[in-house]
Structure 1
Amino acid sequence: MSDHLNFSGRSALVTGAASGIGKACAIWLAEHGIERLWLVDRDSNGLDALDLDCEIERRVGSVADPALWGSLEAEMETLDHAVVNAGIGTGGMLAELDLSEWRKVMDVNLDGAFLTLRAALRKMLAAKGGSIVVTASVTGLKAVPGVGGYGISKAAVAHMARIAAAENAAHGIRVNAVAPGGVDTAIWDSGAQFRKAAAEHGRQAAIRAMAKDTPRGEFATPEEIADTVGFLLSDMASNITGTVLTSDGGYTL
């Protein structure tokens, strides 16, 4: 293993860690020598199922809960890395979107990301260094009809990452975002249209049908996105901050 990809003796925070990209990032970090992981998710069973070769601190709750971050900040002695990943999906045309649905997605995807980022920055400012990756989306870069508030929330978190990078570069803290295209995760299962297609044709067929508009011809795996996140967190990316790295199989071409 390259020393630049060696996380020995370090700690990391991952939100949305019970499944999908967050789970893949937690596994990636453990495989690259991380000493201690702070894992946050609403899914207690998913967190309990993660059996990794490192010290794990599990916290069950919503990233949008300020009390959760108040207690976590008090408990975390130091923090070297953070993956600001937790998010939920939504859909619908803006003209038809109910305000309650808008607020629901903004509560988790934007407010939750802000609270996570703020807590991580405070710990890293005290330690005078660290690196953070925020999970954005290509729907925050490319206008895609029908994604409701999701794409808007992801555009906001991508820019939030850039502002955080500008504010903290002088303190030895790097902040970047990754903007995945389609990724085969459970977030699709929250959409009524996808559930209907999966019931009629099978889940993998439904995923393949959505991926046909991607030049690569398939969606990414969570592990592929975790590789990108790990690179941005690592010392290999020591000169990279304030970037939004697109990983979309060519979708935005």
Structure 2
Amino acid sequence: MATHILITGAASGIGLACAQHLATHGTQRLVLVDRDADALARIALPVSIDRLIGDVRDEAMWDDAAPLLAGIDAAVVNAGVAGAGAIADLSFAEWQRIVSVNLDGAFLSLRAAMRAMKGSGGAIVATGSAAGIKPEAGVAAYGASKAALLHLVKVAAKEGAPERIRVNAVAPAGVETPVWDGVPMFAERAAQIGRDAAFAELAAMATPLGRYARPAEIAAQVTFLLSDAAALITGTTLVCDGGYTL
């Protein structure tokens, strides 16, 4: 199992769940990246933690962080944002906000991790989305950014293989994370009936298995893909969507 791991978007949701899960599965050191300095400071785990406060879209931040990343043997490229809006109604600024984090930020994170692993090998998992596989009205920017990310993972896997760097992705459908709070439709419904009830309502409509994933479940799948049990898996997307894409 990897022992020195980079996680972006580590202060909440899937990123935090990954940090918590990996900290109990052989990890010795975590490099946690997030824009939320307060939330990042509150994370307490039984491993060595380096905290990097900043925006994953900031190339200079990644250049400055190179010494901090020395020795990492795994990475979770997880930072992302959500949003919704029909193409005809979507502002270019909103398109750029979503795509810049989910794709540009993922590229810079992935590049930094691959540079740090060059010569020693490692494993990387990116957080994609079922929205990058199954088209739905109203999620053009988010879906397109995640579709591009899944293809980027395949290219990275081909380029990383000679360096013994494996690159995979997970593609959840609904996951009960704070990213939903930025989706107006969900926020409005949660205000009406409560957050848990809103998740249950959405899942019943959208997912054959009738529920959304918990962050800890996705973290366990990420941990598997980073582990030696997945030593021959690269360039793959693990779709963990409760049947949503069927």
TM-score (norm 1): 0.95
Moved over 6 A (4+): none
* Map of 1:184 onto structure 2: 176
Which moved further from structure 2: 158-167 or 70-79?
70-79
> Aligned partner of 1:123: which letter?
A
* Map of 1:207 onto structure 2: 199
CA distance in 1, matches of 2:19, 2:13: 10
String of CA shifts for 1:116-156, please: whole Å, max 9, x gaps. 000000011132x1000010000000011111300100001
* Map of 1:87 onto structure 2: 80
Q: Secondary structure at the match of 1:75?
A: helix
* Map of 1:151 onto structure 2: 143
* Map of 1:109 onto structure 2: 102
* Map of 2:229 onto structure 1: 236
* Map of 2:219 onto structure 1: 226
> Aligned partner of 1:180: which letter?
P
* Map of 1:54 onto structure 2: 47
Kindly indicate whether the alpha-carbon contact (under 8 Å) linking 1:140 and 1:156 is maintained by their aligned counterparts in 2.
Answer: yes
Q: Secondary structure at the match of 1:146?
A: coil
**Residue 33 (str. 1) matches residue 64 (str. 2):** no
> Aligned partner of 2:125: which letter?
V
> Aligned partner of 1:246: which letter?
V
Kindly indicate whether the alpha-carbon contact (under 8 Å) linking 2:176 and 2:212 is maintained by their aligned counterparts in 1.
Answer: yes
In the alignment, structure 1 segments of 5+ residues that lack a partner are: 1-5
> Aligned partner of 1:177: which letter?
A
CA distance in 1, matches of 2:150, 2:112: 17
Kindly indicate whether the alpha-carbon contact (under 8 Å) linking 2:15 and 2:78 is maintained by their aligned counterparts in 1.
Answer: yes
The count of corresponding residues between Structure 1 and Structure 2 is 245
TM-score (norm 2): 0.97
* Map of 1:3 onto structure 2: none
In the alignment, structure 2 segments of 5+ residues that lack a partner are: none
CA distance in 2, matches of 1:35, 1:106: 33
* Map of 2:16 onto structure 1: 23
Kindly indicate whether the alpha-carbon contact (under 8 Å) linking 2:14 and 2:215 is maintained by their aligned counterparts in 1.
Answer: yes
> Aligned partner of 2:71: which letter?
T
**Residue 72 (str. 1) matches residue 65 (str. 2):** yes
**Residue 194 (str. 1) matches residue 180 (str. 2):** no
> Aligned partner of 1:245: which letter?
L
CA distance in 1, matches of 2:90, 2:134: 19
* Map of 1:216 onto structure 2: 209
CA distance in 2, matches of 1:75, 1:40: 11
- Identity between Structure 1 and Structure 2 (%): 51
Following TM superposition, by how much is the alpha carbon of 1:247 offset from its aligned partner in structure 2, in angstroms? 0.2
* Map of 1:13 onto structure 2: 6
* Map of 1:170 onto structure 2: 162
Instruction: Say which of 135, 140, 150 aligns to 2:132.
Output: 140
Following TM superposition, by how much is the alpha carbon of 1:74 offset from its aligned partner in structure 2, in angstroms? 2.8
CA distance in 2, matches of 1:71, 1:34: 24
Following TM superposition, by how much is the alpha carbon of 1:77 offset from its aligned partner in structure 2, in angstroms? 2.2
Q: Secondary structure at the match of 1:95?
A: coil
String of CA shifts for 1:150-170, please: whole Å, max 9, x gaps. 010000111000000011112
Kindly indicate whether the alpha-carbon contact (under 8 Å) linking 1:69 and 1:115 is maintained by their aligned counterparts in 2.
Answer: yes
Following TM superposition, by how much is the alpha carbon of 1:93 offset from its aligned partner in structure 2, in angstroms? 0.7
Kindly indicate whether the alpha-carbon contact (under 8 Å) linking 1:90 and 1:148 is maintained by their aligned counterparts in 2.
Answer: no
Computed over aligned residues only, the root mean square deviation of the Cα atoms, in angstroms, reads 0.9
CA distance in 1, matches of 2:67, 2:50: 13
